Amino acid sequence: MLKVWGRKTSSNVQALMWCIGELGLEYERFDAGHIYGGTDTPEFIAMNPNQTVPVLQDGGNTPLWETGAILRYLANRYARDTFWPKEILAHSEVDKWSEWAKLNIALNFTVPIFWKTVRTTPRDQDHTAIEAAVITFENKLKIAEQQLATTDYLAGDNFTLADIQFGHLLFRYYDIEIERAAFPALAAYYDRLTKRPAYQKHVMVSYDELRVV
């Protein structure tokens, strides 16, 4: 039985839970972080000295932290070959897009756009900075748009770990109140993701508890 520590409104926890859902694994999840607290306790710090979520423990194994490492662990241990290929070239293709999403998509969206629109009071929002951040972010989305114009999923025609790393942020991108560029291939891809039960359950959830008014 997997044990997960982390609130369901954390984007990193959502990526992990979506992966767990896609792999059909049994789990227990414990709210931690933000309004739930708990990350500064001796017990939590013993699991993760960074005091961040998510943390995963698989049975009696040593707890794991850092979302990307946790996702790769689950993929290596539990995933089918189409999701996380064993053949080196196919594996590297999925890994390449996974790293690209983590470094270019998450970092350019979560803090400069999502936090500045949702987790900042309206009177304190710098709309010029947000608009500039959206332009920077969408320049990266153009790379995904080009790729998705020829493939069903980010690393090819199979749903893979790369889609977890990339797609979990698209719900918020399409849901928050910003002006968005037209990306028809990306929009069609997002529509495919929204039809996946695990995406609906673990990613398409309210983030109202994060709003600052």
Threshold 0.95, pTM exceeds: yes
Q: What's residue 33's pLDDT? A: 97
Query: Is the pLDDT reported for residue 11 higher than 90?
Result: yes
Distance CA 71, CA 207 (A): 23
**186, 141 contact by CB (below 8 A):** yes
Indicate the CATH number of 88-202 among 1.10.10.10, 3.40.50.10280, 1.10.579.10, 1.20.1050.10: 1.20.1050.10
pLDDT in tens, 70-105: 999 999 999 999 999 999 999 999 999 999 999 999
- CATH 1.20.1050.10 residue ranges for the chain: 88-202
Q: What's residue 177's pLDDT? A: 94
Q: What's residue 213's pLDDT? A: 86
- CATH 3.40.30.10 residue ranges for the chain: 2-78
Q: What's residue 183's pLDDT? A: 98
Bond before 54 cis per omega within 30 degrees = yes
Neighbour-count burial of 126, counting CB atoms closer than 10 A to its CB (0-12 exposed, 13-18 middle, 19+ buried):
exposed
pLDDT in tens, 126-179: 999 999 999 999 999 999 999 999 999 999 999 999 999 999 999 999 999 999
**13, 187 contact by CB (below 8 A):** no
150 phi and psi, to 5 degrees? -120, -10
Q: What's residue 160's pLDDT? A: 98
**193, 167 contact by CB (below 8 A):** yes
Q: Work out the mean pLDDT of the chain and round it to a whole number.
A: 98
Return the percentage of the chain with pLDDT > 90, whole number: 100
Using alpha carbons, select from 14, 4, 6, 7 the residue that is nearest to residue 169: 14
Distance CA 102, CA 32 (A): 22
Class of domain 2-78: alpha beta
